[in-house]
Amino acid sequence: MTPFFEANRDLLIFSGAAALKVLVFMGGIMGFAALLTLAERKVSALMQDRVGPNRASVFGFAFNGLFHPIADAFKMIFKEDFMPARAEKLLFTLAPVFALFPVLALFAFIPFGDYVMVYGYRLELQIAELPTALFFVLALSGLAIYGTFLAGWASKNNFALLGALRGAAQMISYEVALGLTLVGLLMIYGSAGLQDMVRAQGKLLFGFIPAWGVVYQPFAFILFLTAAMAENKRTPFDLVEGESEIIGYFIEYSSMRFAAFMFAEFIEMILISMLAATLFFGGWQVPYLYETGFILPGGKALALNHYLVSALQVGSFTVKTVFFSWFLLVVRWTLPRFRFDQLMGLCWKVLLPLALLNILVTGAVMLFSGKL
């Protein structure tokens, strides 16, 4: 080994591990988002008794439409990149970046596993670990509103501006409800670090029930999922992009700029799914699986290799993420769109009071149980 490597061994290993985690985790997310574009159309086709996309093929092999995301990418790349003559050119170009970047940055705080030992080094399966990660997620997710509003305003299109105004009102309103639904979890687990919250969910209640967030806060989970779907601006909360009304903040966008907005929407779906799994369903936790293997409530144990345990944990997190992504697709093709007054009324008259009530009840239960 060179003297430089010996002197900077820990720094180089840490940097290499961080780069590897970014490449693997973010690469998996981008690939999954591409598959969700196909799953979206397949779910809609299934619910409407159609076949769905199945024509794109390579050397005659279609694999039931698996190549359609690749065909979509080529189509977006080669479409005309149109910009209105009156548009604010700089902000019109930056708006898709503002919509996509905050969402991608949030994945750095999602723990997709516990840890794995590599050549004697403990490699945390999380890109960036912060003790206040939950607050950072809520704060950074609020920046996505700039992409929505700037896209509508910079287009100099009245219909796009109307969609942007709807988006600003909707996203600001539901951010309040979304944050309040998670206060109960903060009270129970006593930490805002996502990895700490997942590890706390590895305990057992009454000796056999996993201490997942949904067990402690089932009502908050329903409120969280509703508010998160509204933040994602998808049906039944898609007033921001009402196609039947010719309204949409990205109505003037085409080619890869439009693709950035569309891709951001699917990536937000994955983020919502990962947060739901992390906060309410144990994240990477597998019931009765510990560092040494399975330990069942009756005392029986099954020892497992460390790498197999890590693989099961990552697999558990992946399965939960895929399930919630599928659930969001089904909801999108099941429920009709709200009117805008119903959308805002649901937030301020229903979700917000219920979220505050959940905090009050949680505090009262913790006080009388002696845990506060």
Buried residues in 101-121 as b, exposed as e (16+ CB within 10 A): bbbebbbbbbbbbbbbeeeee
pLDDT at 4 over 80: no
Question: Model-level pTM?
Answer: 0.93
The whole-number pLDDT of residue 25 equals: 86
DSSP 184-211: HHHHHH----HHHHHHHTTSEETTTEE-
The whole-number pLDDT of residue 283 equals: 94
pLDDT at 128 over 70: yes
Q: What one-letter code names the amino acid at 178?
A: L
Rounded average pLDDT over 316-323: 96
- The pLDDT mean for the chain works out to 90
Domain ranges of the chain: 82-368
pLDDT at 372 over 80: no
